[in-house]
Structure 1
Amino acid sequence: MTKPPKSKPLLRDADKPVRSRPRKPRDPTQPNLPLDPMPARIEPCLALLKSKPPKGREWVYEIKWDGYRLAVHIEPTGVRILTRGGHDWTPRFPTIEQAAKQLPVATAILDGEAVVLDEQGRSDFGLLQQSLGGRGGTKTSRNSVLFAFDLLYFDGHDLTRMDLSERRHILEDLMEGATGAIRISEEIDADGGQLLASACEHGLEGIIAKRRDAPYRSGRAGDWLKIKCLQSDSFFVVGYEKSGAARGQIGSLLLAARTGNDLVYVGSVGAGFKERDVLELRNMMDKITRKTPALEYNGQRKAVVWLQPTLIAEIEYRAWTDDGKLRHASYKGLREVQDNAAVCEIE
């Protein structure tokens, strides 16, 4: 059984605890509202990447989870679990489906992140992919947990026009005491800089900043911001360099980002691979080889096998070099087509 996340050290410093704001009791005299039709799908609100946390009392923070974004639809006919791209992955998350059925609500849409936790309680993207059978796999993940961070629809009412603070109030009531496959992503009322430093110290991916008074708006409207301890983005795999000494003969992967309608070479990655990654990659890459590169390439690498730009890899890196290449890159895994991952765009 996966251990619960060890979040307590993150919520306090040497002097005083940092906690979520206390919830106010719900008003029993609140009038009943007319019912809203339940939407088949809501495009997710996405976070803009920033280098530093914003300042001001209008911002509140959460831990950034490293997994797959999911929307859990609880309906009278059952539960649907949709990926960010709108694909139905209900059969792949049976424990989350069962946990959703146990929630005390007739209709709801939860917004959250499905993760697999390591022994330290940190989300691990590689472990999640392994539990699903890798990219294109068909396994069911029975050790994944959904950390719910928003509630978009509740008991016949559309909540997207409400402020985040109001949506969180209802979500916290709904999720009170939940410790199974669906848990609440804790809201942390703290100094953003201190929280980011603490998150990085504990080996987490970063933090999310959200405006308290913002409605739920689809796309990257700037109401949500993400600040990472290490940078990571998604890139096309456009080729690989052969190596007779490496497992699967893969010395490194050649990566590309978008620039307008074209692709641009941004360097390679030769670190972070596990044995199962190499075998999976080689099996897929052998099916998409091509004779010429899919972009302009002036590099000096030898024994390069060029590929159709269909595989999208999640890459962690420290910085960009002056000539537009990734520095200290490390492979994290392949993104699913259904996850609708956005490939990094550069000028």
Structure 2
Amino acid sequence: MTKPPRKPSKPLLGDADALLRSRPRRRRDPAQPNLPLDPMPDRIEPCLALLKAKPPKGDDWVYEIKWDGYRLAIHVEPRGIRILTRGGHDWTNCFPAIKQAALWLPVGTAILDGEAVVLDEQGRSDFGLLQQSLGGRGGKKGSSDAIFMAFDLLYFDGHDLRNSELDMRRHLLEDLVPPKEQGDIRLSEEIEADGEALLRVACAHGLEGLIAKRRDAPYSSGRLGDWVKVKCVQSDGFLIVGYEKSTASLGGIGRLLLAARKGNELVYVGGVGTGLNERSAADLREQMDKLIIGKPAVDTGRKRNAVFVRPELVAEIEYRAWTHDGKLRHAAYKGLRHTADNAAVCVLE
């Protein structure tokens, strides 16, 4: 004999006219612990790579392509998106496409570390193209061409990740920005390979170089050696101390006169005339004409038709070597660094 269905102990629905209520919520026990959440930092000083002649060896290291652009931190916050430069300046309005892509990230709060770049037709980052897309030095307009290459995750949904190992931070970053993503925020992918062989391939393809990172290291602000950079071609920031006039050259600039730091002094390291185009020459001339001074800030030797300027502008210069008397060889101008980027000036031993 089949048993009748068991009656529920309480009716599922009350009388039509009865007011249905959920059970009253119990008061929280003050002794019950809260889920610990870390306050979101307003800004994090970036981890910087230490320049080395050769890539480090060993399984403790992983490699990435070295990108040539502006170092940025994207803050995904409850009140919106902030994009900060290496120097802590707010450049959110300079990168509207990156901002929009950050709004679509599947996360409530986060801080992503990476580089804003513009890629050339071969997929290589080009600092000159980035500056052109921003309307010259200073970010006069928003760049719709720049993309953000994300390479670290410092804060994620209420948790500060800086004390976590790189491998863990990267694991979470790859969930947030999947590999092979082709939007305005992309993943700077890690490459596990022999460092020296990888460097040869990178240089053969005209890339900037490599970044090596210690996989078990926490995120440490400053230049402590957990990140190492190895360049295919040497490049540094040099102070512009003047220029030689030329009626035949773009913008009337024959050569830029450059200086490096040595102790508390500036030292003249030669000039550069290669690498200027019509737009960059016009922008340079506009900037330098505001800084003209009567006497040079550094001894440049005898120069004909030279105009001297206050040493405030930092030019990114690519070069092959140094001469025996401390001058740059085969130098080429790449662009002006902005003060917001906290560009380092070359320091001579």
Q: Report matched runs for 1:25-174 at 5 Å.
A: 34-174=36-176
Unaligned runs of 5+ in 2: 1-33
Indicate whether 1:189 and 2:231 are aligned: no
> Structure 2 matches for 1:295-310, cutoff 5 A?
295-297=298-300, 299-310=301-312
Larger Rg: 2
**Is residue 227 of structure 2 the alignment partner of residue 227 of structure 1?**
no
Alignment CA distance shift 1:234-1:73 (3 Å): same
Give CA-to-partner distance per residue, 1:38-96, whole Å, 9 cap, x none.
Answer: 00000000001111111111110000000000000001111100000000000110110
The amino acid that maps onto 2:187 is: I
CA distance in 2, matches of 1:93, 1:53: 33
Equivalent-residue separation in structure 2 for 1:248 and 1:117 (angstroms): 26
Q: CA deviation at 1:194?
A: 0.8
Checking the alignment, whether the CA contact within 8 Å between 2:250 and 2:277 is kept in structure 1 is no
Counting aligned pairs with the same residue, the percent is 70
Write the deviation string for residues 278-307 of structure 1: whole angstroms up to 9, x where unpaired.
11111221111111111233x233121111
| Secondary structure at the counterpart of residue 264 of structure 1 | strand
Unaligned runs of 5+ in 1: 1-31
1:247, CA displacement in angstroms? Answer: 2.5
**Aligned partner of 1:241 among 244, 259, 262:** 244
Cross-structure match for 2:24: none
TM-score, normalised via structure 2 length? 0.88
In structure 1, C-alpha distance between the alignment counterparts of 2:249 and 2:101, rounded to whole Å: 43
Q: Distance in 2 between matches of 1:175 and 1:279?
A: 39
CA distance, structure 1, for counterparts of residue 216 and residue 335 of structure 2 = 36
Distance in 1, Cα, partners of 2:138 & 2:168: 38
Question: Which residue type is aligned with residue 190 of structure 1?
Answer: A
| Residue 258 (1) aligns with residue 265 (2) | no
Any idea what SS the aligned residue of 1:112 has? strand
The match for 2:17 is none
- Which of 274, 277, 285 is the matching residue for 2:277? 274
The runs of 4+ residues in structure 1 deviating greater than 6 Å are none
Contact residue 94 and residue 139 of structure 2 kept, 8 A:
no
Q: CA deviation at 1:136?
A: 2.3
Q: Distance in 1 between matches of 2:37 and 2:329?
A: 53
| Segment of structure 1 superposing worse, 174-183 or 234-243 | 174-183
Distance in 1 (CA, whole Å) between partners of 2:151 and 2:193 is: 17
**TM-score scaled by length of structure 1:** 0.89
Structure 1 match to 2:336: 334
